């Protein structure tokens, strides 16, 4: 019984550490990889936007548009799990750019999803800028 409790405690501690979010690191990643299309203020008006066939959406109203922050959708779009992205979406698949330590985060429904720490940080930043 002690062994089970110790294992459970260790897993809980690991989960808490994996969910640590660094919004400053997320902001830096956004500036480096996302702002060129979505804009420095995440309003969909980046310097590359006029050259794109489909205009990038603003990212400050994701919560408003979806009723809750669409964590699963955002993670899937970034890392390429979303089949629309991997099969010809105007949004590039950025998964390889954001490789790093595995991290768990909860979706809007409370279900855990595994991703990388850089994506956790980027999503934390996007949640922070919601209006």
Give the Å distances, CA to CA, from 116 to 30, 43, 82.
15, 25, 16
Sign of CA dihedral 62, 66, 69, 71: negative
pLDDT tens string 73-107: 999 989 888 766 655 677 777 778 888 899 999 99
Q: How far is 1 from 58, CA to CA, in rounded Å?
A: 51
Work out the pLDDT band at 7, boundaries 50, 70, 90.
Answer: very low
Q: What is the DSSP string of 22-74?
A: -HHHHHHHHHHHTHHHH-TTSSS--TTGGG-SSPPPPSTTHHHHHSS--HHHH
The two structure tokens encoding residue 46 = 């980046």
What's the distance, CA 83 to chain centroid? 16
């Amino acid at each position: 019984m002690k062994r089970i409790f110790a294992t459970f405690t260790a897993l809980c501690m690991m989960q808490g550490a994996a969910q640590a979010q660094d919004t400053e690191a997320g902001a830096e990643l956004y500036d480096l990889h996302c702002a060129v299309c979505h804009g420095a203020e995440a309003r969909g008006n980046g310097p590359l936007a006029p050259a794109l066939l489909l205009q990038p959406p603003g990212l400050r109203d994701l919560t408003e548009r979806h009723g809750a922050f669409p964590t699963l959708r955002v993670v899937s779009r970034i890392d390429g799990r979303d089949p629309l992205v991997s099969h010809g979406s105007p949004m590039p698949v950025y998964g390889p750019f954001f490789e790093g330590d595995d991290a768990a985060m909860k979706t809007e429904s409370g279900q855990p999803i595994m991703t990388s720490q850089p994506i956790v940080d980027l999503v934390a930043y996007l949640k922070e800028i919601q209006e």
